[in-house]
């Protein structure tokens, strides 16, 4: 395997690590809450909000450092920082110490998206496909979080669910240090090239991109942080084993993740707006139907709405690639993530109290409404040419 491919593999693996680590807590929260003396898992969930807030707001300085200092250096900081902070979470002794450790984890997790994705797509001949495969890797990390966390919690305890992945991340950092080529200059110092789309519609695209990223990130956080407990509640009396429930959730995420590869391939061939709308249009009815579904019907609907949620993810990265020069992609991506995930961290803070007060059916109908808002924003997107059309122009 050549150096470029190995670096790409490590960058995709880093995306899996990024999403996996953020969801270990959500998967193990019931066990952690019992260990810390909480009667309900919902009461512990707000302590994780710092991680998701920093995951969003930290993307802005991370993107700036990626462009001005170097992306390779920032990715090394990502691997080692994620590993150490995950181990610190496993060493936590109470709700406030775990809140601090999770917040530190959020700081390092903020590095990946504004740094790793621009580094990955810079020389790609099929950017949509590259973004799709990268999205698959990230969402397989979510699936692995559900599967591995359930297994480790059952057999070794919740602390091992943070220790083992932490050591894996540090090992990956050592591999990346030895294999990733050193940058000759920071991205911001490279000579800009013409963007493949006219700048006239840039402001409109960035506005739509930011707003859809906010609503999409809210849906992402509500689902990925709430699905484990949703399955636990709706499968009561059918399946109680956390490892089996984790395997079911991993299977749902695995199926949904494959969608991103298909979507990435379509992005390289078809206009973004119509493709984006067709995927998001499925979300509202699926969330609404899931509102009162139980057991296996709920599992089928959960898999279906996660297909749509994950399938919508590649579009914002594709728009950034289409409109923004590589010399400033990390900063633009960082700003987008800071706004979208900074706002959507509220989903993590609201999740426990909302479910405790009103139940999962209200949460699911709220997500249906959010998906309709996303669809409304997409209608304002200009008609973007497909990649082949852009290259022929």
Please tell me the predicted confidence (pLDDT) of residue 352: 78
Q: Tell me which of 52 and 156 has the higher pLDDT.
A: 156
Q: Has residue 61 got a pLDDT over 80?
A: yes
Direct distance between the N- and C-terminal alpha carbons of the chain, in angstroms, rounded to an integer? 35
Locate 377 and state its tokens: 């924003």
Q: Has residue 340 got a pLDDT over 80?
A: no
The pLDDT confidence band at residue 273, using thresholds 50, 70 and 90, is confident
Q: Has residue 192 got a pLDDT over 70?
A: no
In the numeric block, the tokens 């680590």 are attached to: 21
Residues 320 and 114 sit within 8 Å (Cβ to Cβ)? no
In the numeric block, the tokens 């990435």 are attached to: 264
The dotted CATH code for 3-181+195-392 is 1.20.1250.20
d(CA 393, CA 387): 10
Residues 226 and 363 sit within 8 Å (Cβ to Cβ)? yes
What is the rounded average pLDDT of the residues 133-146?
A: 81
Locate 232 and state its tokens: 């636990």
What is the rounded average pLDDT of the residues 264-281?
A: 86
Q: Has residue 56 got a pLDDT over 50?
A: yes
The pLDDT confidence band at residue 374, using thresholds 50, 70 and 90, is very high
Please tell me the predicted confidence (pLDDT) of residue 384: 57
What is the rounded average pLDDT of the residues 77-82?
A: 96
Residue ranges per domain, the chain?
3-181+195-392
């Amino acid at each position: 395997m050549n150096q470029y491919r190995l670096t790409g593999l490590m960058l995709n693996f880093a995306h899996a690590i990024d999403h996996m680590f953020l969801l270990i807590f959500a998967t193990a929260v019931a066990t952690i809450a019992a260990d810390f003396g909480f009667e309900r898992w919902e009461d512990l969930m707000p302590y994780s909000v710092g991680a998701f807030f920093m995951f969003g707001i930290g993307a802005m300085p991370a993107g700036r450092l990626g462009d001005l200092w170097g992306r390779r250096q920032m990715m090394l900081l990502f691997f080692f920082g994620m590993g150490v902070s995950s181990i610190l979470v496993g060493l936590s002794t109470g709700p406030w110490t775990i809140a601090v450790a999770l917040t530190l984890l959020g700081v390092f997790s903020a590095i990946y998206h504004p740094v790793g994705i621009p580094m990955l797509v810079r020389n790609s001949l099929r950017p949509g496909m590259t973004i799709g495969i990268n999205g698959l890797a990230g969402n397989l990390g979510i699936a692995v979080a559900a599967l591995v966390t359930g297994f480790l919690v059952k057999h070794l305890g919740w602390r091992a669910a943070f220790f083992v992945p932490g050591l894996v991340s540090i090992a990956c950092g050592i591999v990346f240090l030895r294999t990733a080529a050193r940058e000759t200059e920071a991205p911001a110092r490279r000579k800009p090239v013409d963007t493949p789309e006219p700048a006239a519609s840039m402001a409109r695209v960035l506005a739509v991109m930011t707003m859809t990223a906010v609503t999409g990130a809210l849906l992402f956080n509500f689902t990925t942080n709430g699905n484990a407990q949703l399955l636990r509640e709706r499968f009561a009396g059918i399946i109680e084993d956390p490892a089996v429930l984790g395997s079911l959730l991993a299977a749902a995420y695995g199926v949904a993740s494959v969608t991103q590869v298909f979507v990435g391939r379509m992005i390289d061939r078809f206009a973004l707006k119509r493709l984006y709308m067709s995927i998001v249009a499925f979300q509202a009815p699926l969330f609404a139907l899931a509102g009162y579904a139980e057991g296996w019907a709920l599992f089928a609907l959960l898999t279906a709405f996660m297909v749509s949620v994950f399938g919508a993810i590649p579009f914002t990265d594709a728009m950034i690639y289409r409109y923004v020069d590589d010399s400033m992609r990390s900063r633009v991506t960082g700003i987008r993530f800071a706004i979208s995930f900074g706002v959507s961290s509220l989903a993590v803070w609201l999740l426990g109290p909302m479910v405790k007060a009103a139940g999962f059916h209200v949460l699911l109908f709220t997500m249906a409404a959010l998906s309709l808002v996303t669809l409304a924003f997409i209608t304002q997107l200009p008609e973007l040419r497909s990649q082949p059309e852009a290259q022929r122009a």
